[in-house]
Structure 1
Amino acid sequence: MGLTCSTGPQHSRRDGDGVRAGAARSRATATRTAETGRTSPIKSAKSLFGESSGSMVCLDDSTSQYIIPRESLRIGRTIGSGSFGMVAEGWLHGTKVAVKIIDCHSPENVLDQEEAVEAFVKEARMYCSLRHPNIVLAMGIVLQPSLVMIVTEYLERGTLREILTGSKTSYPFVPVRVNWALDAARGMAYLHSLSPPILHRDLKTNNLLIDRGYTLKICDFGLSRFMLAESVMTCVGTVQFAAPEVLRQEAYGSAADVFSMGGILWELFTRTRIFKGVAQVEVYRNVINGQMPAIPDSCPPQYAKCIRGCWQMDPAQRPTFEDLIPVLESVADSNEQSGGFSRLLGFRSANE
């Protein structure tokens, strides 16, 4: 039996300030995810794609333009999993792509099947309409009964978290890490500038990807609605990066993403996982009480100012991403002139 895609209003990720955070569902499951290391009953990408060849989802004109025929996409191995489902490699007309998949039949989904399909199609359509050099390019949507997939560009260098911890590649030369901070700020400024704004809701180094040319691009914004119930998430977001107002399940807006940016800036400087080795309950308590990790004394003053600004407990006191950009640009400029930030950040030079 096919599913019907409603054309009626849905709650969108493109919300402005004052969104009410919903309560998280926590259940013990056996799911393997990239962050928790647990196993899941979700099948492999190949087995999911092999179950059905068509979709009976009704589409409006605004969605139809983004539809990719199933036969045009070849699916390879599963390369990861996120809070919303799995990620597989694929090939679209000979071009390597990434395929983000939500299995609406999965009992681990926090939404029921029809609601999940309708909502995910709407989010996918929004995602495909965006164009910015620091946003992962979404090429289109593939639909099958109970499955919705977003086909995106493939960024072979992996996540910023992997690069910073050294599991993917050696550290690049000096300007790159500062430029990554700028890339993230520019991409988020773009999302927040839209009308209505698009909030990320799960901004972290695992959701920042690096392309071949070392450009940083943001992915998975808005997909937190489709998170699996076992994921280590708050009502919305990952605990280590979540704003205190989100953890308290209060009304929140774009400033919550800015708070998360503070954690990204901290990890970029220290090359250490934020709250590494700290129990989730302690992380929650620390963030609620404003007890964030110490900023190293070696951190350049302007860069430290950005981190402290992002971590302000009062959302109204935090800078916007537009505010952060010129400050980070000044850090990058001073680094190029003096070379001192190179030593402080511990980068390898191009000759090392």
Structure 2
Amino acid sequence: MGNQNTQIFRLINQGQEDEAIKCLQIQKNVNLLSSNGISVLRAALEKGQMKLFKYCYLRNAVLMPSLEKGRTILHRAIELGHYDLTWKLLRDSKTFKLSVDDQDINGKSSLHVAVELCDSDIVALLLKYNARKDLKDLTGKSPYDLALTIKYPGIEGILEQFNMEDYLAKPIHDDISPVRDQVSTQVSKETKIELEKGAKLFFLEKTLEESKVPMIKGEELELQDIINKGSSCLVYKGKWRGSEIAIKQFTTDYSESDKKMKKFAKELQVLTQVRHPNLLLLMGICIDKPNLCLITELVPNLTLFYAIHKNKERKLTLAERFSISIQLCKGISYLHSNNPPIIHRDLKPENCLMDHNLNVKIADFGLARFSSSFAQSEESMTTICIGTTRFMAPELFDNSKSENIGVEVDIWALGCLIVEIFSNKRPWHYISSSKANSIFFEIFNKKPLPIPDNVLPEIAEVVKECCRYNPKKRPSAQKVLEKLEIAKNIYILN
């Protein structure tokens, strides 16, 4: 028995949770302990192995040693930085009998823990599941209060997320009458959801086939390490038919209306035909995984944000800054030249990938909108205020201007990008993320985007043109490209 115990914990340590489950099925005992007195359930939690954890949990396995200070499994998953496990616990909160706002004996919620660790990705995830930023612990501090006092790197992004929450509408939940028969309602509702999900999946598959969007079978995909994560998706390094790829797996089921799915398929059809050296290649879509997956080329190295702000060993030269800016213009110009034009809507250094030779690939344009999409009245009204505050054009803050939104929003963001590339400072650099709402105030009062003194005069002029408050007076990406080429010839000798 001791050898079998050792084998199971060895498999857990090696990350082979499927094999560990097989061993447990043979032994029919989920309450095995390691030589250190650690139970299988606790070991799975520590390693972030959701499949094994859920298998043991559903069989009433013990958690040994128990969690301290009255903390929940959600608290612990966040402490360990297990994003994937945290997301799955939240998604299946009823099974695990937890709430996003559960508090420990000190009154700390999961959001308190994520803020203390400065984990902006998990903060974004918790906010998506409606975690309360105003919930106070026993010292009277809320997660937002904590964020204001912390001085560690990364806290600015968290404060910006908190401030954005004040401007974004919360989802509306269905009201279920307490008078109705709850048992019969629950059964019929669950059955209905499953039927609707199956029908939507069938419709999506049929629509994608008709649109000739490349579909990739889930069994052909090999998901490896998580290389990036956001509030709505996980990005894995993976393999497909021997080639290294990136797999973006969304953290929610695709359950929109038939009309929206048809539109989604048509957009994918165009995006899979987009071919440009400075745009991340979308290779296909997988719909037979638990969640929708987009498959793209893999760009191994870093983001533009890292190159500008984090790479202490190698600073970008002036020639490289020109090269990067010109590549960005080429990629954006290509998107805008489509018919109808494709609008990125979230251009920022974090969404610009670079290989070891600093070749730029604009990412996340697969979630972009066609310019014609903004004439959808009610539908577009809920999606205008989307993006990153520091890079958002003025018209994106005003729902009344939804019909007038076009490629010009990307030109404003391009101007902000160019400022950051040439100055090493974020747009609206004098406003801290703890006061991100001040950016709204500056834009409301039509204050010009600040341009630091270390920006070359020719570049400063380009930025001023890109960031005009009248969208129609902003230049095209092609015009910006031409002006950058002229400026480059002045400062860089071939």
* 3-state SS, counterpart of residue 420 of structure 2: helix
User: Counterparts of 2:345 and 2:211 in 1: how far apart (Å)?
Assistant: 24
Distance 1:36 1:92, change over 3 A: closer
Distance 1:39 1:193, change over 3 A: closer
| Greater relative contact order, per chain length (Cα 8 Å cut-off, separation 6+) | 1
* 3-state SS, counterpart of residue 299 of structure 1: coil
Distance 1:119 1:280, change over 3 A: farther
2:327 to 152, 159, 183: 183
Q: Does 1:259 align with 2:412?
A: yes
Query: 2:489 maps to what in 1?
Result: 333
- The Cα shift of 1:267 comes to 0.6
User: Counterparts of 1:34 and 1:113 in 2: how far apart (Å)?
Assistant: 34
2:476 to 310, 317, 320: 320
Structure 2 gap segments, 5+ residues each: 1-99, 102-109, 129-200, 370-382
Distance 1:82 1:115, change over 3 A: farther
* 3-state SS, counterpart of residue 87 of structure 1: strand
Query: 1:40 maps to what in 2?
Result: 125
Distance 1:145 1:100, change over 3 A: closer
Query: 1:302 maps to what in 2?
Result: 458
User: Counterparts of 2:261 and 2:308 in 1: how far apart (Å)?
Assistant: 35
TM-score, normalization: structure 2? 0.53
Q: Does 1:153 align with 2:297?
A: yes
Query: 1:171 maps to what in 2?
Result: 315
Distance 1:132 1:60, change over 3 A: same
Q: Does 1:287 align with 2:372?
A: no
* 3-state SS, counterpart of residue 77 of structure 1: strand
- The Cα shift of 1:293 comes to 4.5
1:142 to 280, 286, 292: 286
User: Are the aligned partners of 1:34 and 1:81 in contact in 2 as well (CA < 8 Å)?
Assistant: no
More strand by share: 1
User: Are the aligned partners of 1:208 and 1:218 in contact in 2 as well (CA < 8 Å)?
Assistant: yes
1:311 to 456, 467, 471: 467
Distance 1:298 1:168, change over 3 A: closer
Q: Does 1:95 align with 2:243?
A: yes
- The Cα shift of 1:274 comes to 2.5
User: Which residue identity does 2:427 align to in structure 1?
Assistant: I
User: Counterparts of 1:34 and 1:328 in 2: how far apart (Å)?
Assistant: 37
User: Counterparts of 1:34 and 1:67 in 2: how far apart (Å)?
Assistant: 34
How many corresponding residue pairs? 289
Query: 1:215 maps to what in 2?
Result: 359
Query: 1:3 maps to what in 2?
Result: none
Structure 1 gap segments, 5+ residues each: 1-27, 43-54, 226-232, 339-352
* 3-state SS, counterpart of residue 493 of structure 2: helix
User: Counterparts of 1:141 and 1:34 in 2: how far apart (Å)?
Assistant: 29
Distance 1:218 1:96, change over 3 A: same
What per-residue deviation string (whole Å, max 9, x for no partner) do you get for residues 277-301 of structure 1? 2422111111232334531233222
User: Counterparts of 1:62 and 1:155 in 2: how far apart (Å)?
Assistant: 30
- The Cα shift of 1:275 comes to 3.4
Distance 1:164 1:116, change over 3 A: farther
Query: 1:51 maps to what in 2?
Result: none
- The Cα shift of 1:126 comes to 2.5
More helix by share: 2
**1:99-118, aligned counterparts within 5 Å?**
99-105=247-253, 112=256
Greater C-alpha radius of gyration:
2
Decide which moves more: 63-72 or 155-164: 63-72
User: Are the aligned partners of 1:97 and 1:153 in contact in 2 as well (CA < 8 Å)?
Assistant: yes
User: Counterparts of 2:281 and 2:243 in 1: how far apart (Å)?
Assistant: 13
User: Are the aligned partners of 2:213 and 2:272 in contact in 1 as well (CA < 8 Å)?
Assistant: no
Percentage of matched positions with identical amino acids: 26
**1:118-133, aligned counterparts within 5 Å?**
120-133=264-277
User: Are the aligned partners of 1:124 and 1:150 in contact in 2 as well (CA < 8 Å)?
Assistant: no
Q: Does 1:235 align with 2:385?
A: yes
User: Which residue identity does 1:331 align to in structure 2?
Assistant: A
User: Counterparts of 1:113 and 1:86 in 2: how far apart (Å)?
Assistant: 24
How well do the aligned residues superpose, as a CA RMSD in angstroms? 3.1
User: Counterparts of 2:120 and 2:313 in 1: how far apart (Å)?
Assistant: 19
- The Cα shift of 1:133 comes to 0.9
2:226 to 74, 78, 100: 78
Query: 1:269 maps to what in 2?
Result: 422
User: Counterparts of 2:209 and 2:340 in 1: how far apart (Å)?
Assistant: 21
User: Counterparts of 1:122 and 1:133 in 2: how far apart (Å)?
Assistant: 23
- The Cα shift of 1:119 comes to 5.2
Distance 1:114 1:83, change over 3 A: farther
- The Cα shift of 1:335 comes to 2.0
Distance 1:235 1:195, change over 3 A: same
User: Counterparts of 2:252 and 2:477 in 1: how far apart (Å)?
Assistant: 34
* 3-state SS, counterpart of residue 89 of structure 1: strand
- The Cα shift of 1:168 comes to 8.3
User: Counterparts of 2:362 and 2:282 in 1: how far apart (Å)?
Assistant: 11
Distance 1:88 1:336, change over 3 A: same
